[in-house]
Structure 1
């Protein structure tokens, strides 16, 4: 197999995911032997390291990952099917680490206190290797949602799973409180983007006091949720 000139490789021949027993499969659905498992782990580890390294930025590609991992593009196709399978496997590995939503789940505290914990947790997640890797990968993917889901269906499914985990964690954070469901849902859409915006702002030349901005964000949202009008 020849290496493609871009990230758009051939469509996968098989699942390139875990079997019923949890053992990873190659692109044709066959179990991997020890050497295959080691190769797969090395490629994923290399991809995550490059994505999390902010010095690489937009220079990360599946081709460069293969080169850095010391494998051919044919090996990547055998293991993952195509670039969609590779990025999906990377996200699945990152999702198993649990440090993207690292807040302590407790049922105590006011709305403001819980919102403060959520904002802090989202911030810590963005500042972790996992958060940096996911952010870089998302920048590599198509901006148009329809194009993204059509071109990278397995990667899109993995990001959908991330969203489901966020929904569950967010819902658990407000257990035991009486909060307007409509407002709570609106805030769920706002929070990741708002925290991400402040996170990016701190990396620029700025006169903004980021700590104050984070505190005001949490307090303002809590005030919105607690309004009774």
Structure 2
């Protein structure tokens, strides 16, 4: 039977069968250095502020989509973390496995991508407050955080991998590195010429993490209260 051809574009109406070549092409497309995740990582390591501003206001085809980026990078960290058993996650709660706290804690550990996005909402609130003079709305700041926090997951992944292979205690150094990168990237995004922006970025990050953790504790208390009634 002859292959059906589209009369408008001249291409086959039926997609090619999925095989090993298709899988390889898809992987190459994602990792392509000019428009894929490797290019995005390079640009976010060298000029995060400028590249994210360009993504928001000018060209959104040069970098990987931000939500996809943070989910993929969080998945990489999750796999390394669970393979080497590096650390327990954002919220560590010493309790029985049946407790509400352990259920939420386990969910966070197994869903770093979504947990990062939720945490980003809290951090974005503080960034919007501290940088209210700049013309960026709440959702644009969330996009900024998807890129920056995605890079944080990659930095954690590198340190976790080295710690897993060498058994050196590197995660405290990783935490400091991530704090520095966040302050630098966010400060660059808003205005790299103002030193106060780097301080405000760091304070926003700390407050965002604290309010995220506090909200988690409040959620646990409320669920336990409702269940026990």
TM-score (structure 2 length as normaliser): 0.30
Which structure has the highest helix share of the two? Answer: 2
